[in-house]
Amino acid sequence: MTVDDQAKMPFLAHLAELRGCLARAGIGIFVCSLVSFAWASELFAFLTSPLRAYFVDADLIGTGPAEAFLVKLKAALVAGLIVSSPYSFFELWRFVAPGLYQNERKIALPFVFASTVCFLTGISFCFYVLFPFAFQFFEGEFVSIGIKPQIRIGEYLTFVVKLLLVFGLVFELPILSFFLARLRLLHHRWLLKNGRFAVIAIFVIAAILTPPDVITQVLLALPLLVLYGICIGIAYVVNPESRKTPAKPPTVEPPAGTVPKR
Secondary structure (H, E, C), 5-59: HHHHCCHHHHHHHHHHHHHHHHHHHHHHHHHHHHHHHHHHHHHHHHHHHHCCCCE
Residues 137, 141, 217, 67, CA torsion sign:
positive
CA distance 18 to 22: 6
**Nearest partner of 202 among 239, 168, 229, 236, judged by Cα:** 229
Low-confidence spans in the chain with pLDDT less than 50:
1-4, 6-7, 247
Contact 105, 21 (CB under 8 A): no
CA distance 196 to 250: 31
- Name the residue ranges covered by the structural domains of the chain: 1-168, 172-241
pLDDT reported for residue 261:
56
